[in-house]
Amino acid sequence: MKQAGFPLGILLLFWVSYVTDFSLVLLIKGGALSGTDTYQSLVNKTFGFPGYLLLSLLQFLYPFIVEPENLFIGRHFIIVLSTVTFTLPLSLYRNIAKLGKISLISTVLTTLILGIVITRIVSLGPNIPKTEDAWVFAKPSAIEAVGVMSFAFICHHNCFLVYGSLEEPTVAKWSKIVHISIVVSLFICMLFATCGYLTFTGFTQGDLFENYCRSDDLVTVGRFSYGISVILTYPIECFVTREVIANVFFGGNLSAAFHIFVTVVIVTVVTLVSLLVDCLGIVLELSGTLCAAPLIFIIPSACYLKLSEEPRTHSDKIMSCLMLPIGAVVMVFGFVMAITNHQDCTHGQEMFYCFPDNLSLTNISDSHFQLTTQLSILNNSIFQ
C-alpha cells in the first residue's frame, strides 16, 4: 500500500490474486495436457532441459530465501534455538500431506495476528500523524508493490505436491480449492494491508511489526505468534527446495541418509542467511520480482500456450498472452527499482510516536521531513 499508493494498491491486490488463481489452475491444466505431475516435468516436457534448469533454479531460490527472521531480543539465539528444536525436525518429514495440521495451526495464528493489527488501528492509529502523500492514488514504486504482492500469493512451486496429495485429484476439484483459498487469502491480505497502512501511512516499514512499540504487550503476543507461524510454515518451503535438489542431482529419489543430509544442509545454510539479513522489505521485493513473477506470470502462461490446442480466441489463451509481457515487465523493472530505490532498515529502532513527549513537540505535522527535522532539533537541544 505504501509503495503503490493506497487506492492503486487495493486494485493491484485484487488483480494479483486473480492472476494467481488463474495461473494455479492453468498449471494443473498444463500438467494434464502434457501428462506430467510435477512443475519441473511440465516445463521439461514443454521447453526441454534448459527450461527445466531455469525453473529448478527459481523453485530453489524462492523458498530458500523467504524465511523471515524473528523479532525477539537476542534474535540470533532465538533463530538457532527454534531451528534446532522445531524447524529442522519438522522439515525432515517426507510426506507433505503430514504438514496439513501444522499449516492449520499457522493459519489460526495468522487470524490472531490479524485481530491484533485491527485492534491497534483503533487504539494507536489516531495518535500517529498521517504523511502528506498518504492518500495519493498511485506512486512510481507500484511495480515493486506488485513484486511484494506476488511474493504474498505465490504457492506455485508446491501446487503439484498439494494437488497430488488430494484424494481423487481432478482439475475441477483443484479449481474449487484454489478459488476458495485465494478468496480467503485475499480477504486476509486486504485486512492486513488496509489496517496496517491506515495506522502508519507513510511511516509503514517493510516489516509491519517494526512499526509497533516495544512496550506494547499485545503486539509482543503478535510477534511471538508470528515467529511460531514462520516455524510451522517453513518446512513446506524446505520440502520444495529439497525436492528440487533431489530431482536435479539424485534423479528424484533420496535415500533415508541423503534425505537427512540434504535437509540439514538446506536448513543450516538458510539459518546462516537469516542470521545475517534482518531487512525483510528487500527480501520481499527481490524474491517477488525475481522468483514469484516468473513462477506466477510467465512460466504457467508459456507452458499452456505451447501445449494447448485451443483456438487463439479462447479465454485462457488470451489471458496467457496478457500475463507473459506483464510478468516480464514486473520482473525486470521491479528488480531494477528494488535495487536502485533500496530503503534502509530501521530494524530494532523505536519509532518517534513511541515517545509521547517527542510526539507532542512535533505539533502533529503531516510532513515526514518536518517531523524528522524537529526531532533532530529536539535531540540537539537535549544534548546541549
Rounded to whole angstroms, how far apart are CA atoms 20 and 296?
Answer: 6
Shared-domain flag, residues 157 and 264: yes
Dihedral of the CA atoms 83, 89, 92, 98 (nearest 10)?
A: -120
Shared-domain flag, residues 266 and 214: yes
Shared-domain flag, residues 156 and 69: yes
pLDDT at 278: 67
Binned at pLDDT 50, 70 and 90, residue 151 comes out as confident
* 1 in a structural domain: no
Binned at pLDDT 50, 70 and 90, residue 200 comes out as very high
Shared-domain flag, residues 231 and 345: yes
**Per-residue model confidence as pLDDT tens digits over 293-331:** 898 999 999 999 999 988 988 999 999 999 999 999 989
pLDDT at 70: 43
Shared-domain flag, residues 20 and 136: yes
* 312 in a structural domain: yes
Residues 6+ apart with CB under 8 A from 65: 270, 273, 283, 286, 287, 291
Shared-domain flag, residues 371 and 232: no
Shared-domain flag, residues 320 and 378: no
Q: Does 349 or 292 have the greater pLDDT score?
A: 292
Say how many domains are in the chain: 2
Are residues 184 and 107 in contact, defined by beta-carbon separation less than 8 angstroms? no
Shared-domain flag, residues 381 and 346: no
pLDDT at 318: 93
Are residues 350 and 358 in contact, defined by beta-carbon separation less than 8 angstroms? no
pLDDT at 344: 56
**Per-residue model confidence as pLDDT tens digits over 89-109:** 888 887 766 777 777 888 889
Are residues 100 and 256 in contact, defined by beta-carbon separation less than 8 angstroms? no
Shared-domain flag, residues 115 and 205: yes
* 54 in a structural domain: yes
> Residue 368: which domain range?
355-384
Shared-domain flag, residues 262 and 371: no
Rounded to whole angstroms, how far apart are CA atoms 278 and 269?
Answer: 15
Shared-domain flag, residues 70 and 179: yes
pLDDT at 350: 81
Are residues 64 and 265 in contact, defined by beta-carbon separation less than 8 angstroms? no
**pLDDT at residue 229 is higher than 50:** yes
Instruction: Write down the residue that cell numbers 516468473 correspond to.
Output: 294
- Per cent of the chain over pLDDT 90 is 32
Shared-domain flag, residues 292 and 381: no
* 112 in a structural domain: yes
Q: Minimum mean pLDDT among 169-178, 189-198, 303-312, 344-353: which range?
A: 344-353
Q: Name the grid cell of 116.
A: 491484533
Residue 122 DSSP SS3 = helix
**Per-residue model confidence as pLDDT tens digits over 47-93:** 998 898 888 888 877 766 655 444 444 567 777 888 888 888 888 88
**pLDDT at residue 3 is higher than 80:** yes
Q: CATH number, domain at 295? A: 1.20.1740
Rounded to whole angstroms, how far apart are CA atoms 265 and 241?
Answer: 11
